[in-house]
Amino acid sequence: MLTQVADGVLVHESEFVQSNAIAVHGREGVLLIDPGIQDHELACLANDLATRGQTVVAGFATHPHWDHLLWHSELGAPPRYCTARCAEAVAEELANPDAKAEIIEHLAETGIAEHVPLDLYGLVTALPAGTTHVPWAGPRVRIVEHRAHAPGHAALLIDDSGVLVAGDMLSDVLIPMFGLDATPDALDDYLAALELLENVVGDVAVVVPGHGSVGGAGQARARIELDRAYVLALQQHKTPDDPRIGPAAKPGWEWVADVHGAQAQRFRVA
């Protein structure tokens, strides 16, 4: 079900790790960002939009991870944009003929593998490097590209509505996460990304993470500070004081502490 979080901006939350799909109403139709996970949820999203008399005229994938590259035929066939570097990463992945099978294997223990539609997976359109706004009829959606979490990751700032779509950052349940091959430079990349976001959140009233709860006024800055404190702790070889990995972790999200443990070991935290 779509829930309005700001004027002209609605969110559809998936059952799978609170994944958020974002629909932005425009003059000619909807911009659909990171549309979702399971086939019945995507079909529900398409139906909800159709019931509102809305057509999807553009899509956007914030970054090249499987759960942000899905689509459903009932959403139509508009251009599905992403940054140039994101598109390069997707092309590299799909050059492997076993890529989709590996996604299914990865999902084997989740119980949703048979419900994840991969026929339209990763069919993205690269925007020219340096593109600053999503090319659609509006409202204006600013692209803030960085290197945190994944190559070619982008946050989107919907100026008129004061909404920051953060991709897989600024979550109330997930800590900053790094790839298995991440080097210590990834920590600096993450801090640089947080600084970029900090520079654009002046009028942000709503922050929507890729996974987790939508945050209201003041939450964008608060979550930037929480993510920054976590990354700095890793960088300084300290144990983070972070509610997302401690006793106060949200029920059902205790596994995030295991993710932290692996990252702490990788970055040699004492």
Task: Please say if the pLDDT value at position 270 is more than 60.
Answer: no
Q: What percent of the chain has pLDDT over 90?
A: 85
- SS3 call for 193: helix
pTM of the shown model: 0.94
Which amino acid, 166? Answer: A
- Range 267-270 contact pairs with CB under 8 angstroms and sequence separation of 24 or more: 267/184, 267/187, 267/234, 267/235, 267/237, 268/237, 269/233, 269/234, 269/237, 269/238, 269/239, 270/237, 270/238, 270/239
CATH domain 2-266 topology: Metallo-beta-lactamase; Chain A (3.60.15)
Q: Where are the domains of the chain?
A: 2-266
pLDDT of residue 269: 55
Query: For 80-114, what is each residue's pLDDT tens digit?
Result: 999 999 999 999 999 999 999 999 999 988 889 99
Look at residue 206 in the predicted model and tell me its pLDDT: 97
Instruction: For 204-255, write each residue's pLDDT tens digit.
Output: 999 999 999 999 989 999 999 999 999 999 999 898 999 999 888 889 899 9
More confident residue, 36 or 170: 170
pLDDT at 28: 92
Question: Could you tell me the strand order of the sheet in which 163-167 lies?
Answer: 141-146, 153-158, 163-167, 206-209
